[in-house]
Copies of this chain bind each other. A is one copy, B any other.
Amino acid sequence: MKIQTPPYGHPVEARERLLAAALEQFALRGYAATSVRELCEAAGVTKPVLYYYFKSKEGLFLQLMEETSAILETMIADLANYPGSARERIVHFITEVFNACDQQLPLIKLIYSILFGTPQGAPSFNLEQNYDRILETITGLVEEGIVRGEIARGNVNDIVWTIMACFSVTLEEQLCRCNPRIDGASMVRMLNLVFNGIAPH
């Protein structure tokens, strides 16, 4: 049984509730239009609780972003121990990243709304940092694949972006559509098309 200390609740829970509420409110209203009062009300905590854990609205936003980077770095680190051909490792990595995003769609929506939306005055955080880390990781896998003879020699950049394209378009379909027309399984089949080619052999 959990020990509750009203009105803050369990400290860890209050922190988690604030992160969840921030995600929801920022995605709904935009970063700039969401006030500290609204965040606290949505999380069921008082302002000092927010200030204690995150110092400010900006701190709360940055924490949300930092957590996505931490998850991605763990996946990249784990990749070192994942065996198989370049193709298998690429499909595995992209699938892992896609699944993590798919389980955190509200967070991905928030990132997209800041990247593509009208300026919201969101605090400076390189939102493209994760995207760039994914590109870097695929680049490493493609280069490895070429050296091992598992990927045909060619413009590495073009190969990397073609792989990235399959990931991006599938993820965006989840963001924009109530009933996405492609999913993680389609993405894997698309990656296989990129490897095999769609021209007749």
Contacts and interface: CB of A to CB of B under 8 A. Distances in A.
A158 interface: yes
A29 interface: yes
A20 interface: no
Interface string A85-124: 0010000000000000000000001001101111110000
Contacts of A177: 128
Interface residues of A, number: 51
A34 to B, nearest CB: 10
A118 B165 contact: no
Interface stretch (A53-61, A65-73, A167-175): A167-175
Given A118-B27, A197-B194, A199-B87, A168 B158 contact: no
Contact of A189 (B155, B195, B197): B155
Contact of A154 (B119, B181, B182, B198): B198
A159 B199 CA distance: 11
State the main secondary structure of chain A at its contact with B. Answer: helix
Interface in A137-162: 149-152, 154-155, 157-159, 161-162
B116 A118 contact: no
Contact of A200 (B29, B119, B151): B151
A161 B30 CA distance: 31
